């Protein structure tokens, strides 16, 4: 797991053709707005989170975020524990995000 600043995370993501973005917030938070292309896996739903984590391709690079960076750091550690090694936590989460956000 690597903790990246907003700038590092967005630049690395932009240049990574093997990237997958994961939002680990709740359904309600996700509906308020999310980073384009993000897949949502709610870390508060522990059993489902672990099940879906085990189904992820361990060869991909996962860019993980939440509201402020705490839950996403935990999520990165959980992903690492099931064999997903390339995880990047967004310090400051979507709260500090300066890029595009999709609101539904």
Q: What is the pLDDT of residues 15-52, one digit of tens each?
A: 999 999 999 999 999 999 999 999 999 999 999 999 99
Q: For the domain with range 2-90, which CATH number is right: 3.40.50.1220, 3.90.1010.10, 3.30.1490.20, 3.40.250.10?
A: 3.40.250.10
Give me the active site residues, please. 66
Split at pLDDT 50, 70, 90, the class of 104 is confident
pTM for this prediction: 0.97
Which 3 state secondary structure label does DSSP give 83? coil
Q: Is the pLDDT of residue 81 over 80?
A: yes
Domain boundaries, given as residue ranges, for the chain: 2-90
Looking at every residue in the chain, the average pLDDT score rounds to 97
Alpha-carbon distance 65 to 71, whole Å?
8
């Amino acid at each position: 797991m690597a903790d990246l600043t907003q700038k590092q995370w967005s630049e690395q993501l932009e240049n990574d053709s093997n990237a997958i973005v994961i939002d680990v917030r709740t359904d309600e938070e996700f509906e308020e707005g999310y980073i384009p292309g993000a897949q949502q896996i709610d870390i508060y739903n522990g059993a489902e989170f672990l099940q879906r984590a085990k189904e992820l391709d361990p060869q991909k690079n996962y860019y993980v975020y939440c509201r402020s960076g705490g839950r996403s750091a935990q999520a990165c550690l959980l992903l690492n524990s099931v064999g997903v090694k390339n995880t990047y936590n967004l310090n400051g989460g979507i709260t500090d995000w300066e890029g595009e956000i999709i609101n539904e």
